[in-house]
Amino acid sequence: MKRVMLGLALLAIVLPIAARADGINLTNQAGTVTILASGISSYGSQLRSFNGVVAPKGHALGTVSYATGALLTGDVWNGGTFSSTGSIFDVVGQGDWMKTLTGLSGEKGKVPLFTGEFVGTIQWNLVNSNKQFHEYQLIGDIQGTLWTGRVVTGNTTQTIYTYWNQERIDNKGSVHLGQIHLNTPEPNTLGLLGGGLLAMAAMFRRVLPKA
């Protein structure tokens, strides 16, 4: 009995730690970005990798789409902050790899892998400027739901290029590289599970006779 209690106690301690260490890493590239004071948006950037699964050259694993809320501070060409109100952040998978991962075929062969939004203030930083282009980084926390129904949190850094002869004419840029990390399993959920396991250990201790 003591071994059972010890095992439950260890699981209760280890599971929340494992939850924080676990996660899903994604990257996206290409796709047009619209840069306005009303918000920054990109729809259909190519999902290039998903936790070690990499798209073959000339192909994509799906799409990544996002939009921020309105500009809060600064300006769109020199950096500032954007609101997360009314924002979106969605990842859609497509292809045989996605069917293997999710067990789903999806509508028109597409499955929403992550459906969410930005949370908190979103940073918009000008990190490089030369005679050809400006390099910006859109940085923010995200939260949403995986295809499994699990609610998760995460963060993203989207590196965006704009070109001198383009940006102020049509307010467009392109995604040079997007990096996304999702924390999964969700730590609070497993923390509750760990607490439940400790409660079970205490219950067994009270109910079961001593060996």
Average pLDDT over residues 46-54: 97
Same domain for 118 and 103, yes or no, is: yes
Same domain for 17 and 61, yes or no, is: no
Q: What range defines the domain where residue 117 resides?
A: 23-184
Same domain for 18 and 32, yes or no, is: no
Same domain for 51 and 12, yes or no, is: no
Same domain for 109 and 71, yes or no, is: yes
Where in 22-87 does DSSP place strands (E)? 24-29, 32-36, 39-50, 53-54, 62-67, 71-75, 79-82
Same domain for 33 and 104, yes or no, is: yes
Same domain for 74 and 154, yes or no, is: yes
In this predicted structure, the answer to whether residue 13 has a pLDDT above a threshold of 60 is: no
Same domain for 206 and 172, yes or no, is: no
Same domain for 68 and 5, yes or no, is: no
Helix axes 2-21, 187-207, angle to 10 degrees: 180
With a pLDDT cut of 90, the percent of the chain lying above it is 70
pLDDT digits (tens, 9 = 90+) for 81-115: 999 999 999 999 999 999 999 999 988 899 999 99
Same domain for 77 and 162, yes or no, is: yes
Alpha-carbon span 175 to 60, nearest angstrom: 14
Q: What is the reported pLDDT for 211?
A: 45
Structure-token pair, residue 46:
């190519």
Work out how many domains the chain is built from and give that number.
2
Q: If you average pLDDT over every residue of the chain, what do you get?
A: 84
3-state secondary structure of 175: strand
Looking up tokens 């990257």, which residue turns up?
A: 27
Q: What is the reported pLDDT for 131?
A: 84
pLDDT digits (tens, 9 = 90+) for 108-132: 899 999 999 999 999 999 999 988 8
Same domain for 167 and 112, yes or no, is: yes
Q: What is the reported pLDDT for 5?
A: 47
